């Protein structure tokens, strides 16, 4: 690693859509950026070198799951996740906040302690405190760390949303203290508040007063409609610091990304490309392709005739249809790689259009397809 520090540069803006560059000691992240999800230290079904060939510049790891397996002792032995999984580009880690919500039946929240979990594997008790979350992310050797937050399920109950902001703000302060002063890495705050503009802005104000290297919109993509998500983004994103990256957590589909970029978001992550790949659904410039469909049984055309990554352009839709029907693991590997490659092509086109000042034309051309 060199002597570079973490920084963000806003290069151009087309209305609210932003073109930027995040610099880290492990490499540059061009924004808007999509981060493939590597929950357990692997983007499912894809070799690290193939991720590089798609133009992927950063991936996401999961603090909760990596804490349980392989555990911090193993991660410390390898000097972090980069060496363990053979990925030398930047890694962003979530904090475990999403698992506090998704595994709610297995944990109890205490503002002063953190989340007291029963392991989803063996029932063993452990505490995920704000300090512990940062310590685990340091063992992972993340380049971008997230504060521990309470991410409530979709609700219109103000009391629950206010409580989540109170807990998340308390934990964010403690995370900042535990993180310390490390200019080579970044710590992002997470804005809560559901679909309530005033609560979102209150959460944001509390976080900016603490001071973080970037800010994320949490508590979205948890059951609300796309229209509801876009509405709250439209009302709030412009209030986020202009000179810091803006991250929408857990999003999403190509149309989600288009709408969020239109509202000023810079960073995205989602399991969609690989999860869809494992079910035979491909994303293409012509829209979604369900390769399980019988109409592809004798289709000689490839999903993308212009890419040579892993010779993807020599595999016909007919062959992929056959692999799916015979339950061959190669199907999920090929389609997942295709989908990640498409997502990165998609982000490059978005960046190009913002630079040219023609993003809205691009948005209008493709929003219906996606």
Sequence length of the chain is: 370
- C-beta atoms surrounding 125 within 10 Å: 9
Q: Model-level pTM?
A: 0.96
Report in angstroms the alpha-carbon separations of 252 from 34, 37, 174, 238, 270.
9, 11, 30, 20, 5
Nearest to 149 by CA among 193, 187, 98, 223: 98
The ranges assigned to domains in the chain are 7-270, 272-370
Q: Quickly name the fold that domain 7-270 has.
A: TIM Barrel (3.20.20)
DSSP state of 192: -
Per-residue pLDDT of the chain (370 residues; tens, 9 = 90+): 467 899 999 999 999 999 999 999 999 999 999 999 999 999 999 999 999 999 999 999 999 999 999 999 999 999 999 999 999 999 999 998 888 777 878 788 889 998 888 877 788 888 899 999 999 999 999 999 999 999 888 888 999 999 999 999 999 999 999 999 999 999 999 999 999 999 999 999 999 999 999 999 999 999 999 999 999 999 999 999 999 999 999 999 999 999 999 999 999 999 999 999 999 999 999 999 999 999 999 999 999 999 989 999 999 999 999 999 999 999 999 999 999 999 999 999 999 999 999 999 999 999 888 8
Q: What is the C-alpha separation between 184 and 151, in angstroms, rounded?
A: 27
Annotation says 304 is catalytic = no
Report in angstroms the alpha-carbon separations of 309 from 174, 275, 314, 335, 349.
44, 20, 10, 12, 18
DSSP bridge pairs for 202: none
DSSP bridge pairs for 127: 116
Token digits for 253?
A: 């589909």
Catalytic residue among 14, 50, 94, 256: 94
Q: How large is the greatest C-alpha to C-alpha distance in the chain, in angstroms?
A: 61
Beta strands in the chain (DSSP E): 7-14, 17-24, 27-31, 33-36, 59-62, 91-94, 107-110, 114-118, 125-128, 144-146, 186-191, 214-217, 246-248, 267-270, 281-284, 287-290
Nearest to 365 by CA among 283, 286, 306, 307: 286
Dihedral of CA atoms 237, 63, 134, 223 in degrees, nearest 10, equals 30
Catalytic residue among 149, 202, 266, 269: 269
SS3 content of the chain, % helix, strand, coil (to 5): 45, 20, 35
Annotation says 76 is catalytic = no
């Amino acid at each position: 690693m060199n002597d570079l520090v973490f920084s963000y540069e806003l290069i151009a803006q087309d209305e609210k859509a932003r073109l930027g560059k995040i610099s880290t000691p492990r490499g540059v992240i061009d924004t808007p950026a999509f981060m493939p999800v590597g929950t357990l230290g692997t983007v499912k079904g894809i070799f690290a070198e193939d991720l590089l060939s798609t133009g992927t510049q950063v991936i996401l790891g999961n603090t909760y799951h990596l804490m349980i397996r392989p555990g911090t002792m193993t991660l410390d032995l390898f000097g972090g996740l980069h060496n363990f999984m053979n990925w030398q580009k930047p890694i962003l880690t979530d904090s475990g906040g999403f698992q506090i919500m998704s595994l709610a039946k297995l944990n109890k929240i205490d503002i002063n302690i953190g989340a007291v979990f029963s392991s989803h594997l063996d029932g063993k008790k452990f505490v995920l405190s704000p300090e512990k979350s940062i310590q685990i992310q340091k063992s992972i050797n993340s380049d971008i760390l997230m504060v521990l937050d309470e991410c409530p399920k979709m609700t219109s109950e103000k009391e629950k949303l206010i409580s989540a902001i109170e807990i998340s703000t308390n934990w964010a302060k403690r995370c900042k203290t535990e993180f310390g002063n490390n200019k080579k890495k970044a710590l992002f705050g997470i804005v809560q508040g559901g679909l309530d503009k005033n609560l979102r802005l209150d959460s944001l104000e509390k976080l900016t007063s603490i001071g973080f290297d970037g800010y994320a919109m949490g508590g979205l993509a948890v059951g609300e409609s796309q229209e509801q998500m876009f509405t709250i983004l439209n009302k709030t994103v412009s209030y986020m610091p202009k000179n810091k990256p803006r991250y929408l957590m857990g999003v999403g589909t190509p149309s989600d990304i288009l709408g969020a970029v239109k509202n000023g978001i810079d960073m995205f992550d989602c399991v969609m490309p690989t999860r869809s790949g494992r079910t035979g659904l491909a994303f293409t410039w012509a829209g979604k392709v369900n390769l399980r469909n019988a109409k592809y049984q004798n289709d000689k055309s490839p999903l993308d005739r212009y890419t040579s990554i892993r010779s993807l352009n020599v595999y016909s839709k007919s062959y992929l249809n056959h692999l799916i029907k015979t339950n061959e693991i190669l199907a999920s590997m090929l389609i997942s790689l295709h989908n990640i490659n498409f997502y990165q092509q998609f982000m490059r086109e978005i960046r190009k259009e913002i630079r040219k000042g023609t993003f809205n034309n691009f948005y209008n051309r493709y929003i219906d397809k996606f």
